[in-house]
Structure formats: C-alpha cells, structure tokens
Amino acid sequence: MRREFIEEAGLDVIGWRGFLEIGRKPDFHVSFFYFKGDRGEMNNIHARTDEKLSWHAVNRLPDNIVPNLAWIVPLSLEREIESPVIINYK
C-alpha cells in the first residue's frame, strides 16, 4: 500500500492499517486501508496520473461514487470493531 500511494499520490505514508477485506473466491479479493494524518500531510498529496484527486466529508460523499463506498468509507472511521472486517461473498 505504501509503495502504491507514493506512486499515485506522491506522498510516503507510514502506518497504513487494513480495515476491510472483501472477496469471492476465486474471482476477486480487495483489501481496504486507511491512515490517519494531519491536514499538513494531506496538503502534500498530488495526483501523479491523469486521475483527479478530491477531498469529501464522510457525511457528504459525491452521488457518483461506487455504491458500496457509501458504507465502506464510514467503516474506515469505526474504532469499536476488530479489524480487519472480512466479507466473503457467495
């Protein structure tokens, strides 16, 4: 995750934490991570590809997101559950 974030956003972040794994064997497996940084670190993030980066409040996500991100993003803030949460689709 660390290497990928450097490549995509130009910032070296230590302390990534996995909070969710979703999959359906043998078709796919996706791991979700978060890091907690300060606003100064966030200001140093910049796109290194042609993809647009933008910031959104968790309670005001854009309408055009992938539908499951409506619950995945708030889950990343949950500290009362044991991580990572594992979801295996049939």
**Which range marks the domain in which residue 56 is found?**
2-88
**What's the domain count of the chain?**
1
Sheet holding 17-24, edge to edge: 28-34, 17-24, 85-88
The one-digit pLDDT tens for each residue of the chain (90 residues) are 899 888 888 888 888 999 999 999 999 999 999 988 777 777 778 888 888 888 888 889 999 999 999 999 999 999 888 889 999 999
Q: What is the pLDDT of residue 85?
A: 94
Q: What is the pLDDT of residue 7?
A: 87
Measured distance CA(47)–CA(27) in Å, rounded = 30
Strand partners, 31: 21
Q: DSSP H helical segments within the chain, as ranges?
A: 2-9, 39-43, 69-75
DSSP code for 7 = H
Q: What is the pLDDT of residue 62?
A: 93
